[in-house]
Structure 1
Amino acid sequence: MKKLFLFLFFIANTIFAEAQFSLSDNHHFILKNQKPFVWIGDTAWELFHRLNREEADQYLKKRAEQGFTLIQAVVLAEFDGLHTPNPYGNTPLKNDDPTQPNESYFEHVDYIIQKAEEYGLTIGLLPTWGDKIWKSSWGTGPEIFNEVNAKIYGKWIGQRYKNKQHIIWILGGDRNPQNNQHIAIWRAMASGIEDGVGGSDKAFITFHPQPNQKGASEWFHDDKWLDFNMFQNGHCRDQAIYNKIYQAYLYQPIKPVLDAEPIYEDHPVCFNANDLGVSSAYDVRKYAYLDVFAGAFGHTYGCHDIWQFYAPNQEAVNNPHIYWQEALLLPGANQMKFLRKLIESYPITERIPDQSLIIENDLAAAERIQATRGSSYAWVYTAAGKAFTLVLGKISGKQLKAFWYDPKTGISKPSFVIENQGQQKMSPPSTGYGNDWVLVLEDTSNQK
């Protein structure tokens, strides 16, 4: 009996220790507990640094209610994160030394990570913002990492959270490596994290770059620790990030890809509010649908007032407009759940980008038409409600159920049936700026 108990105990602990995140069989999607994980993220970079426990609870609770699945946050934060204390008067390191973490600071990080788990949220955990490796012209720094202490810190923080199965590790922190030393430091930190959590198969890691052509893959695509590729788009309106996403979708070896820092809602467009204004819900919505339909496995939303948790008496960057509590209710954030609803309504891991579904398949971003499909369903996003020519026969079924899905409301228009052959002109319910629509097609033989 004792031997049986020990055996069952061993099995239970082995199962618990298994990595929660893995790749789908085709390596284009992420699985959580062997089921497709729909990444609908938010950039809450200063979450651990600026919010107290009650505020963090308010933020996480609301994002969970809004359908978000993942929160991106930084331990060694951007706003003088080494020297400006958190709300409880604690800084993260002693003597700016990554090998001397301050337990009191990390107890607050522990609390927030635990709260996220209670709300069913995954944490995209950045061990440090990139200015602690390369300060550049705008970072606070100081530059404190080298290969040796990066590995020690990575191992320490990996060990601390090795039993938290709702963490995805994100290196990079808005800095592109400038030389081989920077690359070596990031690799050392990744190696330390893997050691800390108990092996490479138990750490799920990516890299958050500045805008570039290949995302994280520019430096690390062949590194085994890089489980998926990330982009950011530079906060400009109507950039062809979907092309970068699709090119990355084709890289070998195959790895999932997404835009992890798109244009933020209520952000100065291209950092130039005087000439270009600030971004709208429509701006952030277009990136979400175009990127996902181009091959991204999920998407990160962001809000200019929230990433920095703008509040009275807080340092502010690039003129945020409203305090973060009010910004939680901006329309773009509330509309991300409609993308999640669409993704989860159909077989996820079989979906591929396919511009051959439409004749008008190479339009510019402002009026882009982007298509994706599974074996028995297809979606076509028209960014400005522009009519298009549908090429049929790409999915199964003699007849197809078709309907228009509104990304603004998550409401579908009444369905109609079309023959699954030849070509057919499709005209959305409305057209023009702000009138984006998704045409949804289903094999009627699969209907119950």
Structure 2
Amino acid sequence: MRTRIVITLLVMLVTTSALQAQLRVSDNKRFLITHDGEPFFWLGDTAWELFHRLTREEAEKYLRDRARQKFTVIQAVVLAEMDGLQTPNAYNEIPLEANDPTKPREAYFQHVDFIIDKAAGLGLYIALFPTWGDKVFKNRWGIGPEIFNQENARVYGTWIGNRYKSRKNVIWVLGGDRTPRNESDVAIWRSMAEGIVTGAGGYDQTLMTFHPQPNDVNDGGSAKWFHNDAWLDFNMLQTGHCRENNVWDRIKAAYDKTPAKPVLDGEPLYEDHPVCFNAKDLGTSSAYDVRMFAYIDVFAGAFGHTYGCHDIWQMNAPSRQPINGAHYPWYEAIDLPGAQQMQYLRALIESRPMLDRVPDQSLINDARGSNDHIQATRGKDYLFVYSAQGKSFTVNTARISGSMLVARWYDPRTGEVKDAGRFEGREAKTFTPPTSGYGHDWVLMIDDASKNFSLPGMSK
């Protein structure tokens, strides 16, 4: 028993120490890396109401389950969306005195501290939203109230940046589902960002982005307003909750901005969500819906992906009124199939050299449309092609190294691999996935045979 306790403590120490140095942007400005230069795959979950609605015991269960499912980042909001200023947390605490951002209440933030630290102990990063955007701009669907101006945004930013400067598992995210209306809104967010940088001790002590509403396809998400700001380390998009969505073009628009910055889809279509907010006519989203956008996003150039679940973001429970037709309590929804399948995307990407991976549609002859889209990506010695409905395609194999190539089919539903043969490189070759039709998505893996890469999820 004593030996088991010692081993458990050592595992916790090793896990925690791995998060004692902040993530940073890679030298090629396309990825995030750890303090020792190892590539980091962002597999996120939108747990917006985590701090606001869960007890410590519930939060720990949620974090343990997501760590078990190989998630790496949890996106959560301090001043929460669902009346986060007036409705208290699970311990009857509200975050601010009299809705004043310059007067944070210690008891509320001790609960936030606990969850951030518990996440670190499980090897999880927290993408920390200091506030949801309705506290800057309420709009018709927000509760608000609007409490921020340039002056108090800087004070609050400085305070919260200083409070969490020693927590190296914190990634800062401003915005919170709001598109700046005008220069005044932009100035408030910039003021909060500069406050965080000041409180944390400088630009090299923060990793930060901005989460907008879906905006025009060519805008590049956060890049529309903040691309050249020193505090914005990577661009974030929200591609929204519809099926007919050319997410690949949206990722590309941000990817192609200069100077280069990493890009991430921070809110795509959630699992079990009313499609386009219209469940009556369009139904609710499936595991296939969220899986398809995940692979397309990453193959189109994103350095990772954020999964979301309609029941999880709101922490739905029998004691709460479901929002927009949520079906399951959060503790059941946590095991929905789409969430379980996200780990196979991470395993695939991590199985090959990550830092030389680029999007490359010149690998294929037909990208097709929004429902049966085909998306390609490659490194120097390998390539992946995702076929959303198992349609055939022709691959230009001369784009990677190797006189002899090995091909395999990867199943995004199970993580299983099927052999697809060996052949000489430098030639175009047509491939037909094992099955086809709606929900029958496949990834073709082609490797330089001389590299002897391991299968996804397995070490060499």
Partner of 2:103: helix, strand, or coil? strand
Among 388, 400, 403, the alignment partner of 1:398 is: 403
Aligned to 1:366: 371
Deviations 1:86-120 (A, max 9, x none): 01000000010000001000010000001100110
Identify unmatched segments of 5+ residues in structure 2.
1-16, 454-460
Aligned to 2:50: 47
Aligned to 1:234: 240
Aligned to 2:451: 446
Partner of 2:355: helix, strand, or coil? coil
Identify unmatched segments of 5+ residues in structure 1.
1-14
Deviations 1:313-347 (A, max 9, x none): 21331010011111001000000000000011000
Aligned to 2:145: 142
Among 289, 293, 298, the alignment partner of 2:299 is: 293
Aligned to 1:130: 133
TM-score normalised according to structure 2 size: 0.93
- 1:421 deviates by 2.2
Task: Output aligned runs, 1:345-384, within 5 Å.
Answer: 345-361=351-367, 363-384=368-389
Aligned to 1:156: 159
2:182 aligned partner, one-letter code? N
Task: Output aligned runs, 1:31-430, within 5 Å.
Answer: 31-33=33-35, 34-213=37-216, 214-361=220-367, 363-430=368-435
Aligned to 1:11: none
Distance 2:108 2:43 in 1: 28
Distance 1:16 1:251 in 2: 32
Q: Is the 8 A contact 1:147 1:184 kept in 2?
A: yes
2:379 aligned partner, one-letter code? G
Q: 1:277 to 1:85 in 2, by over 3 A?
A: same
1:437 aligned partner, one-letter code? W
Q: Is the 8 A contact 2:20 2:169 kept in 1?
A: no
Q: Is the 8 A contact 1:360 1:369 kept in 2?
A: yes
Distance 1:330 1:400 in 2: 36
Partner of 1:223: helix, strand, or coil? coil
Q: Is the 8 A contact 1:159 1:197 kept in 2?
A: yes
Q: Is the 8 A contact 2:236 2:266 kept in 1?
A: yes
Partner of 2:129: helix, strand, or coil? strand
Aligned to 1:20: 22
Distance 2:72 2:25 in 1: 17
1:223 aligned partner, one-letter code? D
Distance 1:204 1:423 in 2: 42
Distance 1:19 1:138 in 2: 38
Partner of 2:417: helix, strand, or coil? coil
Q: 1:19 to 1:64 in 2, by over 3 A?
A: closer
Aligned to 2:4: none
**Deviating more after overlay: 276-285 vs 24-33:** 24-33
- 1:19 deviates by 6.0
- 1:390 deviates by 1.2
Q: Is the 8 A contact 1:238 1:283 kept in 2?
A: no
- 1:23 deviates by 1.1
- 1:17 deviates by 12
- 1:420 deviates by 1.0
Distance 1:255 1:57 in 2: 33
- 1:414 deviates by 2.3
- 1:446 deviates by 1.4
Distance 2:20 2:52 in 1: 30
Q: Is the 8 A contact 2:19 2:169 kept in 1?
A: no
- Confirm or deny that 1:437 pairs with 2:439: no
- 1:126 deviates by 0.1
Aligned to 1:9: none
1:436 aligned partner, one-letter code? D
Number of residue equivalences: 433
